[in-house]
Amino acid sequence: MNPWETISLSDYENHMSLDSVKQLQAMDEMMKTQLEGYPVTTAMIFGIAGGNGLEHVNREKYKKVYGIDINRDYLDAVKERYSDMTDILECVRIDLTSESDMLPKAELVIANLFIEYVGYEAFKKGILKSEAKYVSCIIQINTDEEKWVSESPYIHAFDCLDSVHHQMEEQALTTAMNEIGYSPIKKDEYPLPNGKKLVMLDFER
């Protein structure tokens, strides 16, 4: 079982939304930019979790949005929370480390705090299978490598992730994307309360 299948959505969202962490709020704001940034009608979100940011989907723009996650409970929560989007939203359980061949096609792939848990090689396979024209990623840049999970009352819920966590580097991600034919087109940074920052890197094929 993947460690992400053992973490409850409430622990994840409560941790991510704490004033000392504020990653849920930051990614919600950044996802609005991701969804509106490109002339596409289909999008796929890797690691959709509880659906944070889906409220920014423009129903007049998008014909199809895929939510991909390994945790069935997360996907069930998304379907319940966004039941008004059943005509365009499709949630699919896929383990990208071993099941990328199951991925649908989409013009835009959004991967926020996701590559950290599958690694560059699995991510590249997923992107190639999606045949996306645009890829928008958010990675976390840490100030303290020993504490990549921010301190909070929920921190021990994430102890199991040490076995699958990959330290992210902006240049390494850009190199990995170049290897499969994608060039960087945009970069944004979002500082966090604890000294860390989120970096959004967009690519085009």
166 Cβ contact partners less than 8 Å away, ≥ 6 residues apart: 115, 116, 117, 118, 119, 120
Would you call 200 exposed, middle or buried from its count of C-beta atoms within 10 A (0-12, 13-18, 19+)?
buried
Query: Dmax of the chain from CA atoms?
Result: 44
Report how far residue 181's alpha carbon sits from residue 203's, in angstroms, rounded to the nearest whole number: 9
Architecture of the domain delimited by 3-204: 3-Layer(aba) Sandwich (3.40)
**CA distance linking residue 41 with residue 153, whole number of Å:** 40
Q: Is the model's pTM score more than 0.85?
A: yes
Hey, is 162 helix, strand or coil?
Answer: helix
- Give Cβ neighbours of residue 80 (< 8 Å, ≥ 6 apart): none
Q: Confirm if 136 and 110 have CB atoms less than 8 A apart.
A: yes
- Domain residue spans in the chain? 3-204
- Predicted local confidence at residue 146, as pLDDT: 44
Those residues whose C-beta lies under 8 Å from the C-beta of residue 92, and which sit 6 or more positions away, are 66, 67, 68, 75, 102, 104
pLDDT at 152 over 80: no
Q: Which two tokens stand for residue 131?
A: 């045949």
Using one digit for the tens of pLDDT, what is the confidence trace for 163-195? 888 888 999 999 999 999 999 999 999 988 877
The least confident of 53-57, 122-126, 139-143, 148-152 is: 148-152
- List, in order, residues 6 or more apart from 135 with CB less than 8 Å away: 108, 109, 111, 127, 177, 182, 202, 203, 204, 205
Structural contact between residues 42 and 105, judged by C-beta atoms closer than 8 angstroms: yes
Cβ(202)–Cβ(191) below 8 Å: no
pLDDT-based confidence at 142, cuts 50/70/90?
Answer: confident
Quick: pLDDT tens for 29-41: 999 999 999 999 9
